[in-house]
Chain A
Amino acid sequence: MNRVRQTWVGLALVGIVACAAAQAPWVNHVSGQEQAKKNPFAKQADAIAAGSRLFSDHCAKCHGPDALGRKKRPSLRTPEVQGAADGEIFWLLKNGNLRHGMPSWSSLPEPSRWQIIAYVKSLGEYPPSH
């Protein structure tokens, strides 16, 4: 009987830990290797222009055409996003944050995702920090 109880307590603890892990901010799930990824298109004018078109097609409806967010959807021009590593944003585009409404964009090819990141980073913070 004790063994059954211990099993249930163990399962409950695993469940609680799993729920807590799932509720943690998405950035906590990004591995060091993912975080260290560099954008091959960073600051390239053509990539920024292409990223602008992709952003308009896929992202603007939620995040706004100026990336300042809309209703419940967050701004992408906050210090947190603008200061995030390219690899962190790439991880988010690949995996999404499905519990909170951010879809996975893994169906977009990797170069296209990097182009979006190049564009978002080119926008800078708003309001400007200095």
Chain B
Amino acid sequence: MTRVLAICFFLWFIAVVNSAAQEPPYFVTYSHDLEEPGNLEMAVKSAQGTPKYGNPFISETLELEYGAKGWWTTEVYLAGQHTSNDSTIFTGFRWENRFRLLLREHFINPVLYVEYENTNQGDRSLLEVVGHDSISDLLVTNAQGRSTTQREMELKLILSSNTHGWNISENFISEKNMVEDVPWEFGYALGVSRPLALAASARPCVFCRENFSAGVELYGGLGDLEGFGLKATSHYAGPTIGFDIPHGPTVSFSPNFGLNDNSVGVIYRFKVSYELQQILGHLHREAK
């Protein structure tokens, strides 16, 4: 019975998996592209790094992103990490919602991002850098990290443009710890990307240029309400490349280089995402 169910699930999965929409290959920055209504994107993101004076770690994040409406995408993250010479732990969950503020395409398209985070201090997913986040946060042992749970509210203003094949995105991040009495923290993320070819080729192909996109990301902290600025926090920059495998997953890779002594030397990021199309499409309004 279990085998039959597994085969049925596999066949359903193969039937609904399709190539992902042409999204920019960003890891930290958000563009204004939302999930299509009724589609579910499943992604696994990893971040691997070796902080100075610390043990190498690898963080894994499972991301489930659903297009609730044309203007609303909701997403759940489950995160965990493994640290060498230490242990493997579950580090918490996040629930985020993105709302498109203007229903038509403009030169700059604003999106409001609202997220609730319930993670512990062992979290190494580095999905954003805010406040005075630095390399010292990555030196706590897993036992120490698990003992402190952080409940945080994060707000982002996403500004993004698609022009002449380029995507240019800017994110302004603010985060508030809802348990401890600490000030609002701020951060930023910037991304620029472009597909390697703007027109599709007439014949089916796997390694043709239109299936690849490349770009650059820059992100870091901006301090907090009591000390706003670029100092005493970490900053990263790096190239990023994405490959849309026809009728398959999208694979992305990016080495992020630390730009100051508060940053990890290099963080290698890797992502595999599948889009399951129209799994709950019947719930949506009739299109006109």
Q: Is B3 an interface residue (CB 8 A)?
A: no
In A50-91, which residues have CB < 8 Å from any B CB?
50-51, 53-54, 57-58, 61-62, 71-74
Out of B22, B37, B202, B287, name the residue touching A107 (CB < 8 Å).
B22
**Residue in B closest to A104 when the chains form the complex, CB atoms:** B105
Q: Is the CB of A103 within 8 A of B162?
A: no
Q: Is A98 an interface residue (CB 8 A)?
A: yes
Out of A50, A72, A108, name the residue touching B284 (CB < 8 Å).
A72
Across-interface contacts of A7 in B (CB, < 8 A): none
What's the nearest-Cβ distance from chain A to residue B110, in Å?
Answer: 14
Out of B103, B203, B246, name the residue touching A99 (CB < 8 Å).
B103
Classify the secondary structure of B's interface with A: loop
**Residue in B closest to A93 when the chains form the complex, CB atoms:** B105
Q: Is B71 an interface residue (CB 8 A)?
A: yes
Across-interface contacts of A102 in B (CB, < 8 A): 70, 287
Across-interface contacts of B284 in A (CB, < 8 A): 72, 101
User: Which of these binds chain A: B46-54, B141-149, B184-192, B275-283?
Assistant: B275-283
- Give 24 A-B contacts (CB < 8 Å), ordered by A residue: A22-B103, A47-B199, A49-B203, A50-B199, A50-B201, A50-B202, A57-B19, A58-B21, A61-B278, A72-B281, A72-B284, A73-B287, A97-B287, A98-B70, A98-B100, A100-B285, A100-B286, A100-B288, A101-B286, A103-B36, A106-B105, A107-B24, A109-B165, A110-B165
Q: Which A positions have Cβ atoms within 8 angstroms of B?
A: 22, 25-26, 29, 45-47, 49-51, 53-54, 57-58, 61-62, 71-74, 94-112, 115
